[in-house]
Amino acid sequence: MTEYDKNWDAYGKSIDDRKDAPEWAILRQARETHWREFFTGIAGKKVLDAGCGHGEYTVFALLAGASVWAFDYSAEMVEATRSRLERQGLQAQDLYQGSVTEIPHEDKSFDVVFCLAVLDHLPGDARTQALREMHRVLKPGGTLYLDVPNRLALHWRFVFLLMRLLRLYPGGKIHFFLPWEIRALARQNGFEPQASLGLTFCPPFSGIYTTDIRRVTFLPQFLIRPLDRLYLKVEQTMRRLGPFKAVCWHYFLKCRKRDD
């Protein structure tokens, strides 16, 4: 394992419990509403969560009635997902350590594949390899969901730089994608982009959310909740609109496997 991979293990451990903390509430709601809006038709489907991290999307898919297989390169992340599923009384079909560049499943096994905030951690040739693998394991006409950090979200990139300087995020390179760059990459590897949606337009008032900078707010408690609610409404509207979607921190792309 490289130094970079070890960092993911430490990161997996360090923030797992914080995901359930009060300052994350607004972000959990943002993610849940985003899930409902964007990840449609999941019930009854065979889903592969490639690079599941803490398992938040594995949980969403299971709750939506899908059969889910999930894996991550980091053993600690796999454990974090395992304990999250246990806490929620849910069960995946399988949960294991593995790499998206070498998926241990047969061709055309899944209706849906998630690869969320993973491609940006891979070097260029591995990104292509990962997309080919996901194309291989998807059934004809299957759906791929991608999430990448957005190079146009300059405000978030500043916060991210700060996190890096404070050593609050795993080391190693992250590739910030331009929205049209990830669309082109998907096309080159046999997918047809169908829809896109932004997530996280600006930090909520309950604290500067970047995964690890601890809650920092200068506002009195009684103001935080209404302001956060307002933020959520603003985000839910803005993330659909072209110019605003294009500056959200996360850029989600839904693609269909081309049958060629």
Q: Which one-letter DSSP state was computed for residue 259?
A: -
Examine residue 99 and tell whether it contacts ligand SAM (CB under 6 A).
Answer: yes
Q: Which of 100, 137, 247, 248 binds ligand SAM (CB under 6 A)?
A: 100
Residue 203 C-beta: closest distance to ligand SAM, Å? 17
Examine residue 116 and tell whether it contacts ligand SAM (CB under 6 A).
Answer: yes
In this structure, what token pair is assigned to residue 5?
Answer: 């991979």
In this structure, what token pair is assigned to residue 200?
Answer: 């996280």
Nearer to ligand SAM, 77 or 247 (CB): 77
Nearer to ligand SAM, 200 or 206 (CB): 200
Taking the C-alpha atoms of residue 69 and residue 50, their distance in angstroms, rounded to an integer, is 8
Examine residue 101 and tell whether it contacts ligand SAM (CB under 6 A).
Answer: yes
Examine residue 27 and tell whether it contacts ligand SAM (CB under 6 A).
Answer: no
Q: What angle do CA 190, 196, 199 make, to 5 degrees?
A: 130
Examine residue 128 and tell whether it contacts ligand SAM (CB under 6 A).
Answer: no
Beta bridge partners of 143: 112, 256
Residues in Cβ contact with 3 at an 8 Å cutoff, skipping those fewer than 6 apart? 171, 172
**Residues that contact ligand SAM, how many (by CB under 6 A):** 20
Distance from the first to the final alpha carbon of the chain: 36
Between strands 138-149 and 250-257, the pairing is: antiparallel
Site for ligand SAM in 39-58 (CB under 6 A): 51-54, 56-57
Examine residue 79 and tell whether it contacts ligand SAM (CB under 6 A).
Answer: no
Compute how many other C-beta atoms are within 10 angstroms of the C-beta atom of residue 88: 12
Tokens 């405000």 belong to 155
Stretch that binds ligand SAM, among 93-101, 174-182, 194-202, 228-236 (CB under 6 A): 93-101
Are 60 and 92 within 8 A, CB to CB?
Answer: no
Residue 169 C-beta: closest distance to ligand SAM, Å? 9
Site for ligand SAM in 221-260 (CB under 6 A): none
Which residues contact ligand SAM by CB under 6 A? 8, 51-54, 56-57, 72-74, 77, 99-101, 116-118, 121-122, 147
